[in-house]
Amino acid sequence: MEYKFLYELTGRQEQKIENLFDEVNSAYIYQHPHWTSIFQSNHHPCYFLGYDAGKLVIYAFIVEHHHTAQIQFGPVVTDSSLIADCVTAIRNYYNEKKFGQLTIQLGLHEGDVSRAIQKQIAQECKAVIKKNNREIYFSLRIDLTRSIEEIELDVSESTLRAIKRTVRHKIYAQQISSHEEANQLGVIHEFMYRRRKSRLPFRHPKQVFTKAYKYLQETGNGMMVGSFGRSGNLHGGIVIHFHGDTAYYRLGASKAYGKMPVLHPAFMEAIKISREKGFKIFDLGWYNPYIKENSSLGRISHFKKGFGGQMVAWAPRMEFKLNLWKMALTSANKVLNSLFRN
């Protein structure tokens, strides 16, 4: 096996990564090469490639920030038996680079296979496996092979009431169909974070949403669904990515429109469209029932649970403590940055 760590990709390498991603149905969107170039553009990327007899069989998008490195839902592999060895290679690479910490969230659901792989990794690399339920990534998955009537039977009464309320107020959902609407969704996203006094996940939301819209339109790999008022004004919307047999919710944003639940119709419309397109699963993304409902994350989980779905647990996150001095330095930088922001 030949491993490469690259900080720039050629067009040919990008195409091979794209082909690998298409080949692996279980590959998660956080590793998608074009997706990460849009949503992770303010971070330093490292591309990990693994070749077997000249064929690309392993790929990981690694985010480097200060003295830490992170992989979300990767590496993408053609065979899960390759994971332990390539994680060891990644860990050794960052150990040699004197990084403080490496964090890896495997793109595997929790189960016998993931537990066996993590046990092997922990023995070889002294990984800390975060098994606390509040730290585990869960998601909710809706079975789209059923009829809409059957799907709606799992929707909570409060969510159905919220959707009916928006109908009475002439709020409707449909696909976002122009760069101008995508740009407006970026404006709403930025305003939402500033209203909450929260740190923006990316620097230029308008550019991110317009680039995402262009990518989704050109490739057909997803859609944006908006909630519109009676005058056609956009009140909020969500971004959906398609891969394999699954439609994934990626992110959303909404205006403060009184106490009107403006995103409820957008989610319901996205579920219906995804089903009509032949997808088998609608993945609502991050969900955690173990977080207090009165917290901001707890309210997000409660909102998503209203649409039903089966809870799925992903393999626990792994942490590799490589250099305690660098870890302390990174922690100090975070504290200072937080003080300056405040």
End-to-end CA distance of the chain: 48
Task: Residue 285: name the closest of 110, 29, 24, 39 by CA.
Answer: 29
Enter the pTM of the model: 0.90
Per-residue model confidence as pLDDT tens digits over 268-281: 999 999 999 999 99
User: CA Rg, the chain, in Å?
Assistant: 21
Three-state SS at 158: helix
**Average pLDDT of the chain?**
90
pLDDT of res. 239: 97
Residue 119 has pLDDT above 70, yes or no: yes
Residue 235, helix vs strand vs coil: strand
Which of 84-93, 137-146, 318-327 shows the lowest mean pLDDT across its residues?
A: 318-327
Which pLDDT value is given to residue 253? 93
For residue 226 the two structure tokens come to 């908006």
Q: What is the mean pLDDT of residues 32-54?
A: 85
Indicate the range of 295-304, 311-320, 330-339 predicted with least confidence: 330-339
Question: Does the pLDDT value for residue 263 go beyond 70?
Answer: yes
Asked which of 122-126, 151-155, 258-262 is least confident by mean pLDDT, the reply is: 258-262
Tell me the pLDDT band of 332, cut-offs 50, 70 and 90.
low
For 73, how many CA atoms within 13 A lie in the half-sphere containing its CB? 19
Which letter does DSSP use for residue 233 in this model?
A: -
Q: Which of 134, 77, 140, 135 is nearest to 106 (CA)?
A: 77
On the question of pLDDT at 149 being above 80, the answer is yes
Residues 6 or more apart whose Cβ sits within 8 Å of residue 211:
38
Token pair in block for residue 124? 């070889």
Q: Report DSSP state, residue 190.
A: H
The tens digit of pLDDT for each residue in 287-306 reads 998 888 888 888 899 999 99
pLDDT value at 122 more than 80:
yes
Per-residue pLDDT band for 131 (boundaries 50, 70, 90) equals confident
Q: Could you report the per-residue pLDDT of 186-219, keeping only the tens digit for each?
A: 999 999 988 888 888 888 889 999 999 999 999 9
Given a contact cutoff of 8 angstroms between Cβ atoms, the answer to whether 128 and 321 are in contact is yes
Q: What percent of the chain stands above pLDDT 70?
A: 93
